[in-house]
Amino acid sequence: MTSLRPLSDSYGRIIRDLRISLTDRCNFRCLYCLPETEEAANFYRTRFDSVRNPNPTAPKLPDWKPRSELLTFEEIERLVRLGASLGIEKIRLTGGEPLLRQGIESLISKIVKIPGISDVAMTTNGFLFAPKARQLKEAGLHRISFSLDSLDAANFKKMTGREGLKEVLAGITLARELGMDPVKVNAVVIRGMNDHEIEDLAGFARDRALSFRFIEFMPLDSSRAWLKEMVVPASEILERLKSKFDLKPVVSSNLSETARRWAFADGPGEIGIIAPVTQAFCGHCNRIRLTSDGKIRTCLFSVSEHDLKGAMRGGASDSDLAERLRAIIWQKEDRHHIGEAEFVQPERSMSCIGG
């Protein structure tokens, strides 16, 4: 049963959405997250020479957390139960790549049974989805989001660091066949890399009746090579899509929704644009993140984290954890500062934070 006092911050935002990273490890090396491949190095070295960071951080893999430092499934379940008692309703499992965590279906089956949890979703790169799809569905997974940054096999490899387009496309098809609804697909758009595919990706969404999300390139890469000049702004994406497709705005009553959405007038599916860089949606943010090593992040771009794992393993009661969580969320930032002089990029990349 939900507590009479839901989780809220000092700006009056009520927290309903918890994103849980199951692992910091990933089997892809995406350009915008873990760009350690030769293709990524060449891209950052040869593009935007006149404006690029004169002192970039050398690309390298993060120091992966040993298994002993990751939250156990029992610890995750405990925190979800606690969150649900405080008003958390939606859970999204992320990574790294969440499907690298063995036994994930057992965790899902436990979470979906927790009173108060109405929605359990997962974000995946899709490479390992097909072999586990039916188990995930049977466990109770409600929704799934795939990452698909390119429909061209060669460009896909440049962006992700591996060959895998065929497996991802097969996973998307299977998710629809299993009745997962909606099936969402995300593409991070980077100028000079995949922005020429915007219209093709939207057409793919219409042909497959998908909910497709174009996401502005954010400063969360491990090489710290992000530049605003690489961002294709939402306004440009929308202008190009409107010139190719007849789009109708989708009106949503959910103020905390991150995407601005449009439906195809002549077919199924829809497109959305998530614009954290040029059209920040912080004012209605109702999300917090739990990292795989047990830290709470109140914003994707937080420069500080709050340890819950240490408190749990130190014997804290549920009441102790609830009060600590309330105090953490009360300090939630009003907004991020991307593009402003005072912006500081988080020390950990997206893979370590959890998407």
Give me the domains of the chain, ranges plus CATH numbers: 17-353 (3.20.20.70)
Q: Rounded CA gap, 212 and 247, in Å?
A: 13
Distances (CA, A) of 102 to 20, 130, 145: 15, 15, 19
Q: Rounded CA gap, 52 and 333, in Å?
A: 29
Q: Rounded CA gap, 237 and 42, in Å?
A: 25
Q: Rounded CA gap, 64 and 67, in Å?
A: 9
CA–chain centroid gap for 139, Å, is: 22
Q: Rounded CA gap, 295 and 254, in Å?
A: 27
Residue 1 pLDDT grade (very low, low, confident, very high; cuts 50, 70, 90): very low
CA–chain centroid gap for 185, Å, is: 11
Half-sphere exposure of 40 (CA within 13 A, CB side): 25
Query: Is residue 57 classed as helix, strand or coil in its secondary structure?
Result: coil
Asked whether the predicted pLDDT for residue 53 surpasses 80, the reply is no
Return all residues near 236 (Cβ < 8 A) that are at least 6 apart. Answer: none
What is the average pLDDT value for the chain, to the nearest integer? 88
Q: pLDDT tens digits, residue range 78-105?
A: 999 999 999 999 999 999 999 999 999 9
Q: pLDDT tens digits, residue range 280-296?
A: 778 788 999 999 999 99
Q: pLDDT tens digits, residue range 205-252?
A: 999 999 999 999 987 665 666 788 889 999 999 999 999 999 999 988
